[in-house]
Amino acid sequence: MKKIFSNKKASVGLIILVFFTLVAVVGPFFTTYDPLKEGSVPTGKMPVAYHLSTPGWYGDLLGGNYTNNIYVTPDPTFSDLTKLSLWENATTDPGVYVVYNSSTGMKGKGSLEMTFTREGNATISIDFRYPYVIPPTKFGIEWSYRVDTQYTQTREQANLTASFDFSYKIPGTNNARVFPAGLPLRIGVVNGDWNSVPWHESSSSNPRLSRTLYDGNDPLPIIFSKTRTYTLDLTVQFSRNETAYGGNVTAYGNTKVFIDNVNCVVFGNSFGLLGTDDLARDIFTQLVVGTRISFIIGMVSAILSVGLGLIVGLAAGYIGGATDEVLMRFNDMLLVIPTLPLMIVLVFVLGQSMLNIIVVVGVLGWMGFARTVRSAVLTLKERSFIEAVKSAGGGRVYIIRRHIIPNVFPLIYITLAMSVPGAIVAEAALSWLGLGPLDVMSWGRILHQFEVSGTVAISAFPMWYWTIPPGVCIALLSLSFVLIGYALDEILNPRLRER
């Protein structure tokens, strides 16, 4: 061990390897975004950022043409009482009440409870500041609700609608200029069930919204025309169907609407450490999670290939005869077949999963090591100490286990270290061709997504943060194992061992 740390190649390789090991083990616990699903969140939820966002630090480095996300609701789940005060006092009609419910929530505890003892409106609002002089790329709103009502005979007996509005106060006046942020949303009455309203986007890509509210114009430059403080309002309106009660307008019952997960984001054009891809997925999360995946595929594939090569080499070299002839001819047959085309065929047959990639890469990587082990065994079995063990009654399995394998262990260490880079590059090549594992995110798949996004046809250099980091990671991790392998060879190989 002292010789390993005193070797410069091994020291550099170990430093790089320890870094990637820490990222692989600890990194995924600090990334809250999904690396695979569009928007980096489960389907039906608001994306974490706009697609093809630049890194979030671009604005600090390059100036004011870059905007970051503005999270309007700091506590969407109403779980933090200290942030509840950011919501301004609710405004309600007579007979309508709004309170905080600490015991009821969609996924946890905490929601706003609106009680309607008669028809009317309830509005909650929150102020936020937009600090940029250029409009955002878009904004989106999503929220969840639950309705408890006494109107249970038919679905139409209680009508609930909800709408969101942005407003800002004109300086020097008491008036407010209001810009609707979304069309009214009718919510069905389903007693006791939580319902999620899919996020609604307001941008030039939403032609119905633009045509209806802004005469076909993009609403974002109109709404966010200046740096100022804005107010977001959520209004819930309750009315009942009088004909369902024979026109008895006094037959009111209490209806409760629980509001939770009110999430509003004003999306900028930059986000995170490395921006987002064309599917609005966080690239930094993909890079961190891909470290673990590439690490596992490289290590397990290398162990599988070295194990197979060791078994075949030991059997061919020590048993000899027909066994040696059959195994070596099969080895030669696999050696002359182009590896990458054979991998492509096998992946097509087996399927694109992480396990299949490991099996394919591992099974097709043992041939060279098998020949090396066979040569070493052919030399070892003629040594005098092996003859002495045979004379003492040692069996074939005992000799291989106690004398042959320990003497070829230096070859195992070196070959294992040198096989990991090949496995990592093989997985990256398959993923880049679109044949990588579909169930996980690897470095090669990041590069493949860039290729199929069509961005490369426009310009690749501005998207350096999408392509260079995974490529550098592949090169550095491979380099670490190569350096360790060369160092082990220098230490364990008698011909290269320093005196």
In a domain, 25, yes or no: no
Task: Note whether 157 and 259 are same-domain residues.
Answer: yes
Task: Note whether 205 and 245 are same-domain residues.
Answer: yes
Task: Note whether 236 and 291 are same-domain residues.
Answer: no
Task: Note whether 113 and 147 are same-domain residues.
Answer: yes
Q: At residue 211, does pLDDT exceed 50?
A: no
Task: Note whether 366 and 470 are same-domain residues.
Answer: yes
In a domain, 28, yes or no: no
pLDDT in tens, 260-309: 888 888 888 999 899 999 889 999 999 999 999 988 998 999 999 999 99
- Strand-pair partners of 141: 200, 264
Task: Note whether 433 and 327 are same-domain residues.
Answer: yes
Token pair of 75 as six digits: 């506590």
| End residue of a domain, out of 222, 243, 267 | 267
Task: Note whether 288 and 425 are same-domain residues.
Answer: yes
pLDDT in tens, 256-269: 888 888 888 888 89
Longest Cα pair distance anywhere in the chain, in angstroms? 110
| End residue of a domain, out of 217, 235, 267 | 267
Task: Note whether 64 and 78 are same-domain residues.
Answer: no
Q: The pTM is what? A: 0.81
Model confidence at 243, pLDDT cuts 50, 70, 90, reads very low
Task: Note whether 260 and 111 are same-domain residues.
Answer: yes
In a domain, 32, yes or no: no
Q: What average pLDDT does this structure show over 364-373?
A: 88
Task: Note whether 435 and 304 are same-domain residues.
Answer: yes
Q: Give one DSSP letter per residue of 11-49, joined into a string.
A: HHHHHHHHHHHHHHHHGGGG--S-SSSGGGS-TTS--SS
Determine whether 462 is exposed, middle or buried from the number of CB atoms within 10 Å of its CB (0-12, 13-18, 19+). Answer: exposed
In a domain, 320, yes or no: yes
The parent domain of residue 104 ranges over 70-267
CA 62 to chain centre: 27
In a domain, 30, yes or no: no
Model confidence at 219, pLDDT cuts 50, 70, 90, reads low
Task: Note whether 154 and 60 are same-domain residues.
Answer: no
Q: What is the mean pLDDT of the chain?
A: 79
- Strand-pair partners of 164: 234
* Domain CATH number, residue 214: 2.60.120.260
Count up the domains in the chain and report the number: 3
* Domain CATH number, residue 368: 1.10.3720.10
In a domain, 5, yes or no: no
